[in-house]
Structure 1
């Protein structure tokens, strides 16, 4: 099988782009999805779960940044695990990352469709979700700098909109509402809520997927990650607490559009301001959909370039230098998931949990890789080193393991789908003899 042409991704991204991509990837988590955690844990139960997950992400991102800056590779976790653990490690991490990003995109697209449906009930959710998905596949094909510039613009609008939201609802916050039946399922509810707390931050690690397109990855990646995480922690806690105190939180615990519904309760659904807010709220979802499509395509590209997926998917568009076939393949998966998610009961919730399961497994593989590479390659250039090593990566690893067991315990069907798919992938991998192949120069070297 012939290798794809030796073309390279453009190095055009700066810290502001990385901040925008990171925040943009995640910010939809503030708009929807997290509120499903109230349904299984209550307000205080979800708050406890969120604080635990916030600690996990703080320790994870500081540890993960060491890997991203030392090995700026489009494969992200796939490349780190391959380098640390060989072909099987790369396979597991790559599969988990694909599940993470490929399923985050359709969940966000469905919520976008739901927001539009809230504004204009005549617009069907499925069709608008698919239209958004197709539009951002095309935008990403047009060039990474162009799409990153769009990310900066749309992410700033999304952050401003959340700040406006908090300003509108905060005068109506009542502690009695927030503390009404705060932990209806006790501590078991806290564990059940962990996947929905992860949704607040899920996909921030996607910045690693564009590491090869950063002008100065060793300096710029840490700046982008740390500024983005600080932004997201403040927004997540502010939005969650304030929303829980404006009404009976049960009314918002099953919706795909909790924020416009909350504004409707505060200002009245017939208010023009409610319609304007819901329209602006589309920006956050658009920013995340754009970012997850970008990140998932780079993961497909990296795995195809290394022979883990059909090598044709690693071909770059000659004009735009973007992996157009990877973008199209990721888009097709999203179309299928959108159809299934909008056709089944609790489809969005199941897609979110499956995406989170992929993320948690990927986080575990990354932290294990960090420990292995510290021991095996002590002389590897590390422009950024995880602070408080080995405590930070150990905390991130332990909380990730707890999340994994919580998901397995409370979501048997989704777990069976994830690990069933992994077993099939491993069998194909072994039958093709990939497990016998030596580590390639392309995977072991840090790309120029």
Structure 2
């Protein structure tokens, strides 16, 4: 074992493609278990299918563009680092803020659903106590070590994918097109736009792989593999689960629940069926995979922004024993706790999605800027069909953002108020005039080589 440049802000390079696949799918897979069905309420089945296809196109073009940034600048800050390098300090702050909102609020949204699944299985157990307990457990696991938590991600993600395949196998024979096409677009095309943020939930957080870029072995080769395998897996699961679930019963009965899949299984097999209870029990795996992954990704974002001076420096401290950013993980947990006590699943989900689409926009703008600003930058994975793919991703992201603002005024107000406060503090402290050292921001520090 060779040690190079060990200090208190270094992370271990231990992750392989299978870990990246597991982290990416694990981050997202809860989106197949809940949240997306809320889109039916505002659009109907066909309206939501159209919204999902639009969002799927956005993610395909986004990932095949974003991977250029991830492999060219393998930094734990992700979009924050790319925007800083392309646009400057203000751009970095906006992208960093949006990414924090994306991941920090995805965690409590998933925790709410975890609590709902436990409550479905054991009505005597409240939703909130379960959500808080899961938060604490996975904060501790993430502090313990990235390799250990990544190995856990592989195990739990394989179980979650297997369960969704089992779900499709059980409900598939009971699919009825008459159910699926019943009142398919009750709100017309306006419903399609209203459903876009819920369709984003199918894929939200896949970009979180960028947050562990400094912990990947041979990132320029392995990160593209991880992204591509994960995206293919998620597209198949999202479309399969959504379509089959919509045809087993009156979809309106499932459009307001935090546990649509167990309910769909109970329609097919009966609530008293042992398989129904078993499915609800193992359904926790998908949600566990995602809450674990969002805690991992959000902590790396806090760590990277703190290391670069955008957040208190103490949050960039790495545990000498476990080599993980323990204070960054704990602060993210505190924010999740506050959100659980003050919001609903739908509100928190919309806020998370809003952060995501702003981050996507900032990333694509950064890609275009860096192509002009640094034409000689080493690009191990060039954006596919440049400039068409990044342009498509940017336009659809902008449409999603405008849609969220139109249909969710108060949540949007909270998002922009937070951004305005962050910008005000940033400028008052003179950070917008401060250049971050190149070896700290533009070139991530050397990690421990195992």
Under TM normalisation by the shorter chain, which class is it?
Answer: over 0.9
- 2:124 maps to which of 107, 122, 125: 122
2:433 aligned partner: 436
Measured after TM superposition, the shift of residue 340 of structure 1 is 1.5
- 2:161 maps to which of 152, 159, 162: 159
Pair 1:308 & 2:284 matched: no
2:384 aligned partner: 387
Number of residue equivalences? 440
Pair 1:359 & 2:356 matched: yes
2:271 aligned partner: 269
Measured after TM superposition, the shift of residue 440 of structure 1 is 2.1
2:40–2:48 CA contact under 8 A, matched in 1: yes
1:10 aligned partner: 12
RMSD: 0.9
Measured after TM superposition, the shift of residue 5 of structure 1 is 5.2
Secondary structure of the residue that 1:327 maps to in structure 2?
helix
Measured after TM superposition, the shift of residue 235 of structure 1 is 0.1
1:193-229 per-position Cα deviation (integer Å, ceiling 9, x unaligned): 0000000000000000000000110000000000000
Measured after TM superposition, the shift of residue 278 of structure 1 is 0.3
2:9–2:307 CA contact under 8 A, matched in 1: no
CA distance in 2, matches of 1:277, 1:6: 44
CA distance in 1, matches of 2:10, 2:315: 14
1:375 aligned partner: 372
1:78 aligned partner: 80
Pair 1:338 & 2:356 matched: no
1:350-390 per-position Cα deviation (integer Å, ceiling 9, x unaligned): 10000000000000000000000011101111110011000
1:72–1:447 CA contact under 8 A, matched in 2: no
2:99–2:355 CA contact under 8 A, matched in 1: yes
- 2:416 maps to which of 399, 414, 419: 419
For residues 73-152 of structure 1, the aligned pairs below 5 Å read: 73-152=75-154
Secondary structure of the residue that 1:382 maps to in structure 2?
coil
2:9–2:316 CA contact under 8 A, matched in 1: no
2:295–2:332 CA contact under 8 A, matched in 1: yes
CA distance in 2, matches of 1:440, 1:350: 38
1:396-442 per-position Cα deviation (integer Å, ceiling 9, x unaligned): 00000000100010000000000011001100001111011024211
Which sections of structure 2, spanning at least 5 residues, go unmatched?
Answer: 1-5
Secondary structure of the residue that 1:239 maps to in structure 2?
helix
CA distance in 2, matches of 1:35, 1:181: 15
Measured after TM superposition, the shift of residue 7 of structure 1 is 3.5
- 1:179 maps to which of 173, 178, 181: 181
CA distance in 2, matches of 1:52, 1:214: 31
Secondary structure of the residue that 2:376 maps to in structure 1?
coil
TM-score of the superposition, structure 2-length normalised?
0.97
2:8–2:318 CA contact under 8 A, matched in 1: no
Which sections of structure 1, spanning at least 5 residues, go unmatched?
Answer: 342-346
1:252–1:261 CA contact under 8 A, matched in 2: yes
Measured after TM superposition, the shift of residue 446 of structure 1 is 4.8
CA distance in 2, matches of 1:48, 1:145: 39
2:398 aligned partner: 401
1:344 aligned partner: none
Deviant stretches of 4+, over 6 Å: none
2:443 aligned partner: 445
1:298–1:323 CA contact under 8 A, matched in 2: yes
CA distance in 1, matches of 2:372, 2:82: 14
CA distance in 1, matches of 2:277, 2:342: 29
1:30-62 per-position Cα deviation (integer Å, ceiling 9, x unaligned): 000000000000000000000000000000000
Measured after TM superposition, the shift of residue 444 of structure 1 is 2.2
